[in-house]
Structure 1
Amino acid sequence: MRILLVMDPGILVPPKGYGGHERLVYMFAKEYARLGHEVHLLVTSGSVVEGCTVHPFGKEGFPPKKWDARMAIPTAWKFLWQNRNTFDLVHNFGRLAYLLPLLNHPIKKIMTYGREISSRNIQLINKLPNRNLVYTGCSKDLISRVDAGGRWEAVYNAIPFQQYTVQPTVAADAPLMFLGRIERIKGAHTAIAVAKATGHRLLLAGNVSPLADERAYFEQEIEPLIDGAQIQYVGAVNDEQKNHYLGQAKALLFPIEWNEPFGMVMTEAMACGTPVIGFGSGSVPEVVQEGVTGFVVKNKEEMIAAVEKVGSINRLRCRTVAEAQFDVPMVAAHYLRL
């Protein structure tokens, strides 16, 4: 097939740093090409994806300038209309509005969502004549909050498992880990409380939110508890550091206080063989297989109890089970079956 992937301009593909969706676009482009498809991308100017054709779209810079963001839609419309008979599949990770010129064209269209979804926008689109349009969300829980009609399917986010090293065993005194933005809804305060209650060391990793109230949360509720011994803050981490820290952890604590659409860090932990103990909000019950890749709990007390059970989980099996569901080839194949 000839496949076009579309992403909002502003961040390069692959991204230099921040850019979760751009990273997904890059991985799927490479996988589609590996499978023998002719792959094109409509993405930020300056992007380079080996083995694929990149069509420059807007300027690098996030968040984009208002004029650049405004011009993205007509630019995408012009390209898609001029190439309406070129592609067999358009896989869009950007704005839904990009697909307007192709709505009623027989070309196959996938609209992928990885964050909260506006039902209103989809309701408007679904009132227009359309064909061969499939909406996907990164979890069933995310889709459950949409009230818009149309054909929907849950397709989970993917990570490249080959980039992570499974650790079959860890030391008896291995630390627990928290990995994520240091803001209240991510639950770093709960992770610290669980570590203290169970006598474990805790590695805190992640960037501090620049928002004033979240900065105050870090400075007033988290930073005073960081002692460099039992509670250690290692800052923001890159992929290599994630692999290192997650691999040596006894468990990843995921005490979220919101409906997380997916939670990529959970699968990153599993790729290292590290079980996840998470509050049962958002996608957590879908991502974590009870007693196999971790435990789903209701509150801090249950999380404390679950820490004592992580030794019952086979870390090699944790990796194997997660890989069969969340590795790039598995998820890409799911998209191509739609």
Structure 2
Amino acid sequence: MKILIVMDPGILVPPKGYGGHERLVYMFAKEYTRLGHEVHLLVTTGSVVEGCTVHPFGSEGFPPKKWDARKAIPVAWKFLWQHRNKFDLVHNFGRLAYLLPILNHPIKKIMTYGREISSRNIQLMNKLPNRNLVYTGCSKNLISRVEAGGRWEAVYNAIPFQQYTVQPTVPSDAPLMFLGRIERIKGAHTAIAVAKATGHRLILAGNVSPLADERVYFEQEIEPLIDGKQIQFVGPVNDEQKNHYLGQAKAFLFPIEWNEPFGMVMIEAMACGTPVIGFGSGSVPEVVQEGVTGFVVKTKEEMIAAVGKISSINREQCRTVAEVQFDVPVVAAHYLNLFTK
């Protein structure tokens, strides 16, 4: 099969640093190629994916300039129209508008969402003649918030599990872990409170948000509690550091205060054998299997209590159960099977 993967220009594939969907694009392109498919990518100029053909599309720079973002639409339209008979499948991780020229063409189309979805855009698209179009969201919870027609399927995000090392055991005094942007809705303040209430050390990792309100949040509510002993802040971490810190943790705390569409870091923790204790918002009840890969709780008090039960979880089983759901080959197969049902 000949597959085209499309992503908004701005971030290279693979990304140099952070890049949520760009990481997924890279992983699925590699997996589709491994399965024997011919893979092409319409992605940011300068991207390189071994074994695939890259069609340069826009310039690097995030967030992209408004004019560059607008220019991307007609460029995508021209490319898709000119090559409409050359591909069997278009897997779009970018703007829905890119698909307009081929909307009613028999080519198979997957439109993948990993963040909040505009019901209005979907409704407008569905009023137009269309064929062989499947919308996917990274969780059932995300899709449940869409009020639009069309065919929808929940396809979870994935990580390459072979890049993470499972730690079968950790000492009783192992730290708790928080990893994410340091902003209020991610709940770093709750993670600190849970660590203090349970007498555990806490490794706090992630970027401090550049937004003014969130900078104030960090400086007034988080930074004063960082003592370098019980509460340690290690800042942004790369993949190698992430594997190290998550692996040595007793539990990963995910005290979110919003409806997280997925939360990739939860499965990164599970890949290291580290169970997740998360508030039951957004995708958390779908990702965490109660008592197997972690605990879903409602309040800070329940999170504190769950820390005391964390030793009941088998870390190797935590990794195994997560792997059969969220490893790249599993999720890539789910995408490719959408049109065989």
TM-score range, shorter chain: over 0.9
How big is the shift at 1:89?
Answer: 0.2
How big is the shift at 1:334?
Answer: 0.2
1:159 aligns with 2:179: no
How big is the shift at 1:58?
Answer: 0.7
How big is the shift at 1:67?
Answer: 1.8
How big is the shift at 1:88?
Answer: 0.3
| Secondary structure at 2:213 match in 1 | helix
| Distance in 2 between residues matched to 1:230 and 1:63, nearest whole Å | 36
| Secondary structure at 1:262 match in 2 | coil
1:28 aligns with 2:38: no
How big is the shift at 1:63?
Answer: 1.2
| Distance in 2 between residues matched to 1:45 and 1:221, nearest whole Å | 41
1:69-106 CA-to-partner distances (Å, cap 9, x unmatched) read 11100000000000000000000000000000010000
| Distance in 1 between residues matched to 2:172 and 2:299, nearest whole Å | 25
| Secondary structure at 1:213 match in 2 | helix
Length, aligned pairs only: 338
How big is the shift at 1:328?
Answer: 0.3
| Distance in 2 between residues matched to 1:163 and 1:88, nearest whole Å | 31
| Distance in 2 between residues matched to 1:266 and 1:185, nearest whole Å | 16
| Secondary structure at 2:268 match in 1 | helix
Runs of 4+ in 1 over 4 A off after TM superposition: none
| Distance in 1 between residues matched to 2:242 and 2:328, nearest whole Å | 18
| Distance in 2 between residues matched to 1:184 and 1:65, nearest whole Å | 27
How big is the shift at 1:323?
Answer: 0.3
How big is the shift at 1:66?
Answer: 2.0
| Secondary structure at 1:74 match in 2 | helix
Q: TM-score, normalised by structure 2?
A: 0.99
How big is the shift at 1:276?
Answer: 0.1
| Secondary structure at 1:13 match in 2 | coil
| Distance in 2 between residues matched to 1:97 and 1:72, nearest whole Å | 10
| Distance in 1 between residues matched to 2:119 and 2:284, nearest whole Å | 23
| Distance in 2 between residues matched to 1:236 and 1:250, nearest whole Å | 20
| Secondary structure at 2:222 match in 1 | helix
| Secondary structure at 1:204 match in 2 | strand
| Distance in 2 between residues matched to 1:202 and 1:63, nearest whole Å | 32
Partner of 1:308: 308
- Structure 1 unaligned runs (5+)? none
| Secondary structure at 1:67 match in 2 | helix
1:177-199 CA-to-partner distances (Å, cap 9, x unmatched) read 00000000000000000000000
| Secondary structure at 1:134 match in 2 | strand
How big is the shift at 1:65?
Answer: 1.7
1:94-123 CA-to-partner distances (Å, cap 9, x unmatched) read 000000001000000000000000000000
| Distance in 2 between residues matched to 1:56 and 1:180, nearest whole Å | 31
1:118-167 CA-to-partner distances (Å, cap 9, x unmatched) read 00000000000000000000000000000011000000000010000000
| Secondary structure at 2:72 match in 1 | helix
1:237-294 CA-to-partner distances (Å, cap 9, x unmatched) read 0000000000000000000000000000000000000000000000000000000000
| Distance in 2 between residues matched to 1:244 and 1:7, nearest whole Å | 31
| Distance in 2 between residues matched to 1:189 and 1:66, nearest whole Å | 35
Partner of 1:40: 40
| Distance in 2 between residues matched to 1:277 and 1:63, nearest whole Å | 32
| Distance in 1 between residues matched to 2:234 and 2:332, nearest whole Å | 33
| Distance in 1 between residues matched to 2:309 and 2:239, nearest whole Å | 28
| Distance in 2 between residues matched to 1:46 and 1:203, nearest whole Å | 35
How big is the shift at 1:52?
Answer: 0.4
How big is the shift at 1:68?
Answer: 1.2
Partner of 1:181: 181
| Distance in 2 between residues matched to 1:219 and 1:60, nearest whole Å | 32
Partner of 1:51: 51
- Structure 2 unaligned runs (5+)? none
How big is the shift at 1:18?
Answer: 1.6
Greater shift in the superposed pair: 148-157 or 56-65: 56-65
| Distance in 1 between residues matched to 2:296 and 2:66, nearest whole Å | 42
How big is the shift at 1:55?
Answer: 0.5
Coordinate RMSD, CA, aligned:
0.4
How big is the shift at 1:22?
Answer: 0.5
| Distance in 1 between residues matched to 2:249 and 2:170, nearest whole Å | 7
How big is the shift at 1:64?
Answer: 1.3
